Structure 1
Amino acid sequence: MRNFFACILSLYLILIPTQVWAHSNLTESIPAIDAVVKEDVKALQLTFNTDILKGSTFTLANEAGQAIAVDTIQIDGPHLKGTTSVPLPNGKITVNWSIIGADGHLIHGNYQFTVQDEQTAANDGKKQTTITTDAATSVNEQQNTSKLDGDSLMLPIIVVVLGIAVIVLFFIMKKKDANS
């Protein structure tokens, strides 16, 4: 009986940790995180460490928090690509992404980059928008956040509880064997 529990515990320690933390993460983006881009931007690409599934998407917002239309979104393995019909405006752009990873979990995150295209600035002239303090604060509060949805947090909790139960049973059986 002792050998049985030792085998179970060994398998648990070897196999479970790799499954628990196998969530998809953003590994690369074009434009890059916190980059300052000095040319027209009409295409974005986000690359994750695993393939992503249908239903993955992203949205764009300017520094005032206003949505910027994304015309096309395409999923190609670990790549999430999107285009806009017009170049992005000058200023900070926030990319809010939501993907379904290869493990089936919904994962959210965001990042920012800045557009400083002199050609666009010359054409805009007086069209520059004023940023309200509230909108700027809300965008800054969201910067560099990434969270897991509630269902994906249940698995680690269950694994830890099961692990503790196996260890307790192992020591109970060991104590019974010693007393016999």
Structure 2
Amino acid sequence: MKKILFLLAVILIFSQQPASAHSKLESSNPEAGATETEPLKEISLTFNTRIEESSTFTLSREGGEEVQVDNITIDDDTLRGTIPQDLENGAYTVSWDIVGADTHVIKDSINFTVQLPDQLEEKTEEAPADEEPKADEPEGEEKKDTETASENNTESQNSQILLPVIGGILLVAVIVIAVISMRKKR
């Protein structure tokens, strides 16, 4: 009986994957939800594990219009691409499709806003005097997209933490039941 319990405990311990097994975004330039006030020349996404060569990303404007990104490269855990022309003011989404070191495909995205001062001045000069320029605060769909991306990242992190905790609880329960069973037999 002791051998069976020991074998069961070993199987449970080694069948648990670490919480950080899946690749996840650690940092980015621009950061999720950021408002860029300087021209953006490069996008970089850094993950917590090495990523495979087939990994890629796209950049799109509000409304789904794809923006050209050149020279997408992978350097161990970082995915980079250059933006050949200045981005216009507005909301953007970086969507990635990566294969992590654990061979799992991960698809996710972040949102950011470009708000270059010189483009604001041009729009203010063109706008009639009774029209106010837009505020820095994201509105409507852009705000919803940012909130949804944040919620998705939080849910993913919570599920990665929860699995090992449940495994540990199950292991403790099996051990307690085994000890109680052994004591009853004596």
Cα deviation, 1:47-93, whole Å, max 9, x if unaligned, reads 01111111111111112221112222101011010112112221111
The 5 A counterparts of 1:38-117 are 38-117=37-116
Structure 1 residue 32: Cα displacement: 1.3
Kept after mapping to 1: 8 A contact 2:33/2:146: no
Task: Tell me, in whole angstroms, the C-alpha distance in 2 between the residues paired with 1:20 and 1:92.
Answer: 33
Q: Secondary structure at the match of 2:64?
A: coil
| Other structure's SS at 2:17 match | helix
Q: How far apart are the structure 1 equivalents of 2:140 and 2:44? A: 29
CA deviation after TM superposition for structure 1 residue 7, in Å? 4.0
Q: Deviations over 1:104-125 (max 9, x none)?
A: 0001111111111123456788
Question: Secondary structure at 1:9's aligned position in 2?
Answer: helix
Question: Partner of 2:22: helix, strand, or coil?
Answer: coil
For residues 64 and 100 of structure 1, the distance between their equivalents in structure 2, rounded to whole angstroms, comes to 27
RMSD of Structure 2 on Structure 1 (CA): 3.6
Identity %: 30
TM-score relative to the length of structure 1 = 0.68
Q: Cα distance, 1:9 vs. partner?
A: 0.9
**Counterpart residue identity of residue 8, structure 2:** I
Q: CA offset at residue 8 of structure 1?
A: 3.1
- 2: CA distance between counterparts of 1:123 and 1:77? 41
Q: Judging changes above 3 Å, is the alpha-carbon distance between structure 1 residues 27 and 141 closer, same or farther for their aligned structure 2 residues?
A: closer
Corresponding position of 2:9: 9
Give how far 1:177 is off: 9.4
In the aligned structure 1, how far is the partner of 2:17 from the partner of 2:10?
14
Q: Identify the residue that residue 31 of structure 1 maps to in structure 2.
A: 30
Contact 1:75 1:81 in 2 (8 A): yes
Structure 1: 5+ residue stretches without partners = 127-132, 149-155
- TM-score, structure 2 as length reference: 0.66
Aligned length in residues: 161
